[in-house]
Amino acid sequence: MSREQVNLLASSNNKINGCIRVPGDKSISHRAIIISSIAKGKTQINQYLDSADINATIDVCRRIGAEIVRNNESLIITGNNLERIQKEDTELNFGNSGTSMRLMMGVLSAQIFSSILYGDESLSQRPMNRVSKPLINMNANIKTSNGTPPIFISPIDDIKNVDHKIHIASAQIKSAIILAGLYGRDPFTITTPKSRDHTEIMLNEFGCNITLESDSINVIPSKLTSPNTIDIPGDISSAAFFIVGSIISKDSQVKIANVGLNPLRTGFIDILKMMGASIEISDLRKVNGEVVGTIDVESSKLKGIAIEKDLIVRSIDELPLIILAASQAVGKTSIRNAEELRFKESDRISSMVEMMKRFNISINEFDDGMEVYGGIIEGNTINSFGDHRVAMTALLASLVSREDIIVQDTVNIDTSFPDFINIANNIGMDIKVYD
């Protein structure tokens, strides 16, 4: 059986208890690998995420001349010091990884070889004009296929830095611009609403001069020098599954140590606390510029709330889990201003509405979100819609479902969290392959 056909069965009504660690942060792993690959010197990256999406980034970074060696739990990367190397024209497969493709569009725009960037069915439908347009304003020679992959990049003489105004709060767009801009000469400013700032933090670790004002980022291009070692914190977006799982199920308690707690990623913790969840954070410290700490969480009674606009960007990847939490809260939860959910690995508004309906939860769909009413989840067979976060959220629902849950098409879990089933089963869930 090919992995695409693997269906999983999660037995209903368990509790979870334990002390866990989650694998390295996906967003930070991408940045650490890309930036080490274009920096001067050798970087050891510890606790990186070993997943399909990260492998896509590693493969492409090798094409731009980085030497990348796996050594147990670490990667050792010798970078190319921003050299624009001559290579054969090259076709690059990004699999399911939007972050790899969008960030590497910035780097590849500045190279002196042509590249064709393509991906799987889900990635082939995702919007890329939002990245190609600002790069074209920087003199990049990029063509998309009606705004989506495949993307064709041809060599240029020079990247020309200009100031940008970007209306979408997207870390991938601003990161592509910043990475391309490192190959240009002039300082530039990006004015854009706040979104996760891992690229800015990581580049400053490599000696770059990036300063932040309220809504703008000022970049002075410079050479990058390896800080020798980067330690990647655990992925808060992976931890989120067990945080929500512990909150919604009875008699559950989970401790997660060494998790990234960048304030631009912790919106879902603020939302859950507003809904009444018991979540404690301790042992806060900074590692390579990123806030890291320990999270303690336990079963809690939740109430429905209206989620403020400001919290949406800071919780965008965890909104499927917030929808599951809302299905277990008393009353109505409304999530609006979340149209960006339609452009993820699946259209997460329609996938989650479909999932909740199949679970017999009342839910109303809007263009920019939904309202969810608390209820009882019935078991059912759910399709992942090719989306790892949808697949894992559906499996987690078994903690509170009346019957077992079967999730179809689950290979995509490997894109971000290959250890999900092991960790879940170790702390009390019961997920197995279902023929």
27 interacts with ligand S3P by CB under 6 A: yes
| Smaller CB separation from ligand S3P, 354 or 387 | 387
424 interacts with ligand S3P by CB under 6 A: no
| Smaller CB separation from ligand S3P, 158 or 310 | 310
| Close Cβ partners of 398 (under 8 Å, ≥ 6 residues apart) | 10, 11, 12, 13, 14, 379, 404, 405, 429, 430, 431
Catalytic residue among 120, 231, 317, 414: 317
x/- letters, 99..138, toward ligand S3P (CB under 6 A) = x---------------------------------------
32 interacts with ligand S3P by CB under 6 A: no
| Smaller CB separation from ligand S3P, 10 or 32 | 32
25 interacts with ligand S3P by CB under 6 A: no
**176: enclosing H helix or E strand:** helix 171-181
Contact 59, 25 (CB under 8 A): no
Please give the C-alpha separations between residue 136 and each of 30, 125, 131, 180, in angstroms, as whole numbers.
23, 21, 9, 11
Structure tokens at 231: 């330690």
| Smaller CB separation from ligand S3P, 111 or 170 | 170
CB of 341 to ligand S3P, least distance (A): 9
Beta sheet of 188-191, edge-to-edge order:
164-165, 188-191, 216-220, 209-212
| Smaller CB separation from ligand S3P, 359 or 420 | 420
Ranges of beta strands (E only) in 247-394 are 253-260, 278-287, 290-298, 306-307, 332-335, 363-366, 369-373, 381-383
201 interacts with ligand S3P by CB under 6 A: no
CB of 402 to ligand S3P, least distance (A): 32
Task: Tell how far CA 220 is from the center of its chain.
Answer: 27
HSE of 366 in the Cβ direction (CA atoms, 13 Å)? 12
Out of 200, 317, 354, 419, name the contact with ligand S3P by CB under 6 A. 317
CB of 170 to ligand S3P, least distance (A): 3
190 interacts with ligand S3P by CB under 6 A: no
| Smaller CB separation from ligand S3P, 316 or 396 | 316
Strand 141-145 and strand 148-154: pairing? antiparallel
Q: Could you confirm whether 317 is annotated as catalytic?
A: yes
Residues 162-181 that bind ligand S3P (CB under 6 A): 170-172, 175
Amino acid occupying residue 256: I
316 interacts with ligand S3P by CB under 6 A: yes
Distance, first Cα to last Cα, the chain: 9
Residue found under tokens 């650490």:
32
231 interacts with ligand S3P by CB under 6 A: no
Residue ranges in contact with ligand S3P by CB under 6 A:
27, 99, 170-172, 175, 195-196, 316-317, 340
Catalytic residues: 317
